[in-house]
C-alpha cells in the first residue's frame, strides 16, 4: 500500500517535471528561429501560406507523431517564432484534427481477425475522422471566405496575452525557464542543435505526460465507462473533455474506447459525443504552448507585444474555436449526430470485403495523399532559397572585379589631368 502511494506521488512529480521541460522546449524553439534560422523561417512562411498545403502538412505531421497535441504545440511555437504563417497555421491545426484519428484506426486493426468485432471497432475509429473531415469541409471554405476563426481567435489571443501577463519582465514563468533556455543555447553552441533538441524535448515530454497521466487516471475509470460515463450524450461529451484535458491527448482517449466498441460494450451513438468532447479537451495543450512561447519574450511597460507572439496565441484559440464550432454543429440535434454515425458504419461495411482494404485506406488517406500534396511545395521553397544564395556569389565576384578597373580608370584620368 505504501509503495503504491509512493509510486503515485512520484508519477505526479514526474508530470510536473515533464511539464516544466515542455515549456523549456517551446521556448528553445523560439530562440532558435530568431537566430541563424531566420532565412529558413522566411522560406517556410512562404511555403505555408497556402491553405491546402497547410491542411495536409497538419495531417501528415500528426499521423507521423501520432498526437495532435504535439503537432499543435509545435505549430504554436513556430508561429510565435515567426517561422510559420498565421493563415496557413490555422489550416494546419484543422489538418491535425484529421491526422490524430489515425491512431484509433490502427488500434482497430487489432480486431481484424473477427468480422463482427472489426466492424464495430473500425466503425468507432471511422466515426472520429468522419466527424473531423465533415467539420473541415464546412469550416475551411467559410474561413477562406470570411476569416472568422482568425478574427475571433486574434481577439481572444490578445486578451489572453494581456490577462496572463506572461510577457511582463517580472513574470514567474519567464524567470523559471529563461536561464535554462540560455544555458542550453550556450552548451549546444549553435541554433541548429538548439532547435533539434528543443523539438525532441517538446515531443518527448508530451509523450511522457500522456503516459504518466494515463496510468494515473484511465485505469481507474475504465470500469465505470458503460455504467456511469456514457449514460447520455451530455455526460459522454463532458467526460471526453475532462479526460482528454487530464491525459493531454485525444489520441489516447479515443483509442481507449475502440476495444470497448469492438467488444460491443459501447455503441457508436454513445461514443460520438465522447469524441466531440475529446476534440475540445485536446486544445488545452495548444493554449499551454502559447503561454510558454509568450513567456520567452519580455515586453517593457509602454511597449507593444510582438505580433508573432499574439499570432501564436491566435493559433491556439483558432484550434479551440474550430473544435467548439464543430461541437455546436453536431451536438444539439440527434438527427445531425446520426449523419457521421451512418457514414462510419458504411465505411466499416466496405472494409469488410477484404482485409487489405482498411490498410490501403489508412496508408492512402493519412500518408500518401498528404505527402503528394505537400512535398513539392515545401521542398521547392527550401531549394529555391538555396538557389538564391548560390546566385549571390557571382554578383560578389563581379563587384570585386569591377573595383580594379575603376581604380585604373581613376589613375589614368588623374595622369591625363596632371599632364
**How large is the average pLDDT for residues 166-172?**
60
Mean pLDDT of the chain: 78
Give the predicted TM-score (pTM) of the model.
0.75
DSSP single-letter state for residue 173: H
Output the pLDDT for position 382.
Answer: 54
- pLDDT band with cut points at 50, 70 and 90 for residue 343: very high
Q: pLDDT value at position 401?
A: 44
Name the range with the highest mean pLDDT among 78-87, 128-137, 159-168: 128-137
* Residue 260 in this model has a pLDDT that exceeds 70: yes
Read off the pLDDT band of 242 (50, 70, 90): confident
pLDDT for the residue 361 = 92
45-78 core/surface letters (b: 16 or more CB in 10 A; e: else) = bebbbbbebbbbbbbbbbbebbbbbbbbbbbbbb
Portion of the chain with pLDDT greater than 90, in percent: 22
Beta strands in 161-204 (DSSP E): none
pLDDT above 80 for 28: no
Grid cell listed for 31: 530562440
Q: Kindly tell me the sign of the dihedral angle through the C-alpha atoms of 329, 331, 337, 343.
A: positive
| pLDDT value of position 210 | 67
CA dist 87 → 47, 75, 161, 292 (Å)? 11, 12, 19, 21
Q: Residue 352 phi/psi, 5° resolution?
A: -70, -15
- So what's the pLDDT on residue 344? 93
Q: Residue 43: what pLDDT?
A: 59
- Name the more confident of 9 and 352: 352
How many Å apart are CA 367 and CA 25, to the nearest integer? 27
- How would residue 3 be classed by pLDDT, with cut points 50, 70 and 90? confident
Nearest to 67 by CA among 28, 96, 104, 27: 96
Phi, psi of 270 (to 5 degrees): -80, -35
Q: What is the pLDDT of residues 30-62, one digit of tens each?
A: 666 655 555 555 555 556 677 888 899 889 888
pLDDT tens per residue across span 384-411: 544 444 444 444 444 444 444 444 444 4
Q: Which range, of 2-6, 172-176, 330-334, averages the lowest pLDDT? A: 172-176
Residues 6 or more apart from 262 whose CB is under 8 A from it?
A: 108, 111, 117, 118, 120, 121, 124
For residue 381, is pLDDT > 60?
Answer: no
How many whole angstroms separate alpha carbon 207 and alpha carbon 213? 10
**Tell me, what's the pLDDT at 156?**
92
Nine cell digits for residue 342 = 451512418
Query: Which residues, other chains included, contact 289 with Cβ-Cβ below 8 Å and sequence gap of 6+?
Result: 26, 72, 73, 76, 77, 312, 316
pLDDT (tens digit per residue) in 107-137 = 888 888 888 889 999 999 999 989 999 999 9
Q: Among 131-140, 152-161, 257-266, 389-398, name the one with the lowest average pLDDT.
A: 389-398
Which one, of 102, 1, 90, 104, lies nearest residue 50 by Cα?
90
As given in the structure block, the three cell numbers for residue 353 are 470485403
Domain boundaries, the chain: 15-380
Of the candidates 72, 16, 76, 66, which has an alpha carbon nearest to the alpha carbon of residue 296?
A: 76
Given this model, what pLDDT does residue 134 score?
94
Binning pLDDT at 50, 70 and 90, where does residue 413 land? Answer: very low
* pLDDT of amino acid 132: 93
Beta strand residue intervals within 69-180, DSSP E: none
pLDDT at 163 over 70: yes
Per-residue pLDDT, averaged over 358-382, amounts to 82
Which grid cell sits at 273? Answer: 459525443
Share of the chain above pLDDT 70, in %: 76
Taking only the tens place, the pLDDT of each residue in 212-228 is 766 766 555 555 555 56
Tell me the average pLDDT across 79-93: 85
Query: Which residues, including other chains, have CB under 8 Å from residue 159's CB and lie 6 or more apart?
Result: none
Residue 417, pLDDT > 50, answer no
Please tell me the predicted confidence (pLDDT) of residue 170: 54
Per-residue confidence (pLDDT) for residue 17, from 0 to 100: 85
Which has more confidence, 176 or 369?
A: 369
Amino acid at each position: 500500500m505504501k509503495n503504491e502511494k509512493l509510486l503515485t506521488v512520484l508519477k505526479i512529480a514526474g508530470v510536473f517535471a515533464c511539464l516544466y521541460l515542455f515549456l523549456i522546449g517551446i521556448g528553445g524553439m523560439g530562440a532558435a528561429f530568431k537566430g541563424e534560422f531566420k532565412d529558413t523561417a522566411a522560406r517556410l512562411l512562404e511555403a505555408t501560406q497556402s491553405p491546402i498545403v497547410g491542411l495536409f502538412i497538419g495531417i501528415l505531421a500528426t499521423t507521423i507523431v501520432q498526437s495532435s497535441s504535439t503537432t499543435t504545440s509545435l505549430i504554436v511555437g513556430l508561429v510565435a517564432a515567426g517561422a510559420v504563417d498565421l493563415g496557413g497555421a490555422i489550416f494546419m491545426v484543422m489538418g491535425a484534427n484529421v491526422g490524430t484519428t489515425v491512431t484509433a484506426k490502427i488500434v482497430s486493426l487489432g480486431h481484424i481477425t473477427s468480422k463482427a468485432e472489426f466492424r464495430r471497432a473500425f466503425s468507432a475509429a471511422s466515426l472520429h475522422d468522419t466527424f473531423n473531415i465533415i467539420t473541415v469541409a464546412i469550416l475551411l471554405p467559410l474561413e477562406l471566405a470570411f476569416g472568422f476563426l482568425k478574427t475571433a481567435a486574434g481577439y481572444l489571443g490578445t486578451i489572453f496575452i494581456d490577462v496572463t501577463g506572461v510577457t511582463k519582465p517580472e513574470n514567474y514563468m519567464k524567470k523559471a525557464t529563461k536561464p535554462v533556455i540560455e544555458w542550453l543555447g550556450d552548451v549546444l553552441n549553435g541554433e541548429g542543435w538548439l532547435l533539434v533538441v528543443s523539438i525532441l524535448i517538446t515531443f518527448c515530454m508530451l509523450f511522457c505526460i500522456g503516459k504518466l497521466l494515463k496510468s494515473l487516471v484511465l485505469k481507474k475509470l475504465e470500469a465505470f465507462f458503460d455504467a456511469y460515463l456514457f449514460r447520455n450524450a451530455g455526460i459522454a461529451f463532458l467526460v471526453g473533455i475532462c479526460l482528454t484535458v487530464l491525459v493531454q491527448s485525444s489520441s489516447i482517449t479515443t483509442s481507449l474506447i475502440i476495444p470497448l466498441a469492438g467488444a460491443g460494450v459501447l455503441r457508436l451513438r454513445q461514443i460520438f459525443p465522447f469524441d466531440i468532447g475529446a476534440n475540445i479537451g485536446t486544445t488545452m495543450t495548444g493554449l499551454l504552448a502559447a503561454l510558454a512561447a509568450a513567456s520567452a519574450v519580455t515586453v517593457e511597460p509602454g511597449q507593444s507585444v510582438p505580433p508573432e507572439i499574439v499570432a501564436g496565441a491566435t493559433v491556439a484559440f483558432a484550434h479551440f474555436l474550430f473544435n467548439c464550432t464543430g461541437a455546436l454543429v453536431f451536438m444539439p440535434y440527434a438527427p445531425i449526430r446520426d449523419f457521421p454515425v451512418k457514414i462510419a458504419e458504411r465505411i466499416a461495411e466496405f472494409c469488410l470485403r477484404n482485409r487489405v482494404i482498411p490498410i490501403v485506406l489508412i496508408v492512402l488517406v493519412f500518408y500518401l495523399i498528404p505527402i503528394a500534396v505537400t512535398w513539392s511545395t515545401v521542398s521547392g521553397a527550401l531549394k529555391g532559397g538555396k538557389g538564391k544564395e548560390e546566385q549571390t556569389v557571382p554578383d560578389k565576384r563581379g563587384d570585386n572585379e569591377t573595383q580594379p578597373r575603376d581604380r585604373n580608370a581613376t589613375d589614368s584620368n588623374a595622369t591625363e589631368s596632371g599632364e
